Amino acid sequence: MKDMWFFEKEATENGYRDIAGIDEAGRGPLAGPVVSAAVILPSTFALSGVMDSKKLSAKKRARLYDKIYAHAVAIGIGIVDPVEIDRINILQASLLAMAIAVDNLNPKPDCLLIDGTFRISSQLPQKPIAKGDSLSVSISAASIIAKVTRDRLMESYHLYYPQFCFPQHKGYPTKAHKEAIRKFGCSLIHRRSFKGVKEYL
């Protein structure tokens, strides 16, 4: 069984103390922001149930979200809106959101574990980890925080754009969402550079 603390222990052995895991949610949707989270966990954090947010039910994610917020040393959130996503592309927007999340940590980390294969704009030592949300407890925690934060944002947009039913699909390109775009056009939070939206501008 894989050790979800492996990368955190490795960083600690290399002299680092405040190790932040970083992940994002919302690269694939046609609407809404991309949201990143950076999480520093205490070494005493109870691991049970923490894993890649995509493998968890919404109810389980919500419970773990509360647990992580209750016990984390620090949590930072980074949000990049659809206008900026369209301006710089979704990959760059995701990396920017991650950098913002790190900047919002207090205390500041001295080492970063990043989900994926790309480094972010930071002078801090950092280690990109492919599929890190399934390999590192800190990145897994960040994936849960980012996913729940973004889902709740998308649910709040229902007040302004009820015709799109964002609570159901969170902006992802479901059949119902694509049909709503065809019927109503795009809203102010749709990503205008994305296929499935730009055709209906």
DSSP collapsed to 3 states, the chain: CCCCCHHHHHHHHCCCCCEEEEEEECCCCCECCEEEEEEECCCCCCCCCCCCHHHCCHHHHHHHHHHHHHHCCEEEEEEECHHHHHHHCHHHHHHHHHHHHHHCCCCCCCEEEEECCCCCCCCCCEEEECCHHHCCHHHHHHHHHHHHHHHHHHHHHHHCCHHHCHHHHCCCCCHHHHHHHHHHCCCCCECCCCCCCHHHC
Q: What is the pLDDT of residue 55?
A: 83
Q: What is the pLDDT of residue 29?
A: 98
Percentage of the chain exceeding pLDDT 90: 93
Q: What is the pLDDT of residue 52?
A: 66
Q: Is the pLDDT score of 1 beyond 60?
A: no
Q: Is the pLDDT score of 199 beyond 80?
A: yes
Q: What is the mean pLDDT of residues 169-186?
A: 97
Q: What is the pLDDT of residue 161?
A: 98
pTM: 0.96
Among 156, 134, 166, 122, smallest CA distance to 23 is for: 134
- The phi, psi pair for 134, rounded to 5°, reads -105, 0
Amino acid letter, residue 123: Q
Q: Per-residue pLDDT tens for 125-138?
A: 999 999 999 999 99
CA 155/CA 110 separation, integer angstroms: 34
Q: Is the pLDDT score of 13 beyond 80?
A: yes
Q: What is the pLDDT of residue 4?
A: 92
CA 48/CA 42 separation, integer angstroms: 14
Q: What is the mean pLDDT of residues 88-115?
A: 98
Q: What is the mean pLDDT of residues 104-133?
A: 97
Evaluate the CA torsion angle 188, 193, 197, 201 in order and state its sign.
positive
Under the banding of pLDDT at 50, 70 and 90, the label for residue 122 is very high
Q: Is CATH 3.40.50.300 the right assignment for the domain spanning 6-157?
A: no
Q: What is the pLDDT of residue 53?
A: 74
Q: Per-residue pLDDT tens for 136-167?
A: 999 999 999 999 999 999 999 999 999 999 99
